[in-house]
Structures are given as structure tokens and as C-alpha cells.
Amino acid sequence: MNFDLYSYVEKLISTNRLARDNAFLYCRCSGAAGLEEVMQQWRRHNNFVAVDDFSDGRLFRAPGGGYFTRYIFTIFIFARCRRDDMTDTLAKLNLCRTLRTQLYSRFIRDRHTVPAIRYMNAEEMIFHEYSAPALNGCTGTFMQFNVDIPTCLCYDETEWIG
């Protein structure tokens, strides 16, 4: 199965009115530690959507008997805010919350037609928020969700020597 969440989210960010109107920059990062590098590298941008390209996962057997590989994805949404200005911080956090909600609603709409998210667990999507400025003066949120890909574990003798 061709699974490309990164291109899908990049397209969503480029076609979402809120993201475009607020100049959100799409990028990829490797874990939360990679966000500092992203924000230092892109000092000329104020708003970011970063998809973590480091994914945890697990293999499991579903109640129906089939096996699946579960990938856990994280998308960070951050907006730069003025230092020591809680009004601006809250406004930017609300901007990030609104974009997160719009992404969730699009995921749910596209879940049955877009291969990249066909197996997304839309019943439970987790998020966390930074209510105070963090990461180079940004506030925001990150969201996590599971994608369970059917996995064939049929034993094939030709894959083994001896």
C-alpha cells in the first residue's frame, strides 16, 4: 500500500483558507526536538505546520483475526506570539486550535476516499496544547492519531534459506 501522509497534509495546508491567509509554512521535522531546528531555520516565518516524520508504531492482531501495523502520527501547529502578551498568545493559540479542528474535519471527510488516511482511527484523535509561549516564542498545539494498515503475515517459504 502506498502511504504518503506527508504529501496529503502539505496539500491540505496549501489549500486551506485559514492556513493560506495566515501564511502557515508546511514542513517536516524529526521528533519534537527537530522543531527547534525548523523554527531557527525559518525565522522569517511566523506560523508553522510540521509533520513529524519519526513515527512510532506496533503490529497487532485485530478482533477479527487480521493483522495490522499501527502508525502513530504527530502534526504540530505553531504560531509566533508577542512576548509577555497573553492576549496575543491566546489569539494565536485559538488560531492554531481552529486550524487543528479544520484539519480533523477534513480528515474525517476524506477518510473513505484518500488512500493516505483510509485506515485512520477517526474515533479518537489526541491533542496537546502549549498555552504559554514555548519554542522560540510560539504557542500552539500538536495532534496525534493512529493509522492502522492491514498487514499480510502469510509465511512464504521462498523468503528463507534452509
The DSSP string of 87-107 is HHHHHHHHHHHHHHHHHHHHH
Task: Map out the domains of the chain with their CATH numbers.
Answer: 5-159 (3.30.2000)
Which band of pLDDT confidence, cut at 50, 70 and 90, is reported for residue 47?
very high
List, for residues 15-34, the tens digit of each pLDDT value.
Answer: 999 999 999 999 888 776 66
What single DSSP character describes residue 115?
G
Q: Please state, in angstroms and rounded to a whole number, the distance separating the CA atoms of residues 129 and 124.
A: 17
Report pLDDT for 76. Answer: 93
Which band of pLDDT confidence, cut at 50, 70 and 90, is reported for residue 41?
low
The total of other beta-carbon atoms located within 10 Å of residue 87's CB is 9
Read off the pTM. 0.86
List, for residues 63-82, the tens digit of each pLDDT value.
Answer: 989 999 998 889 999 999 98
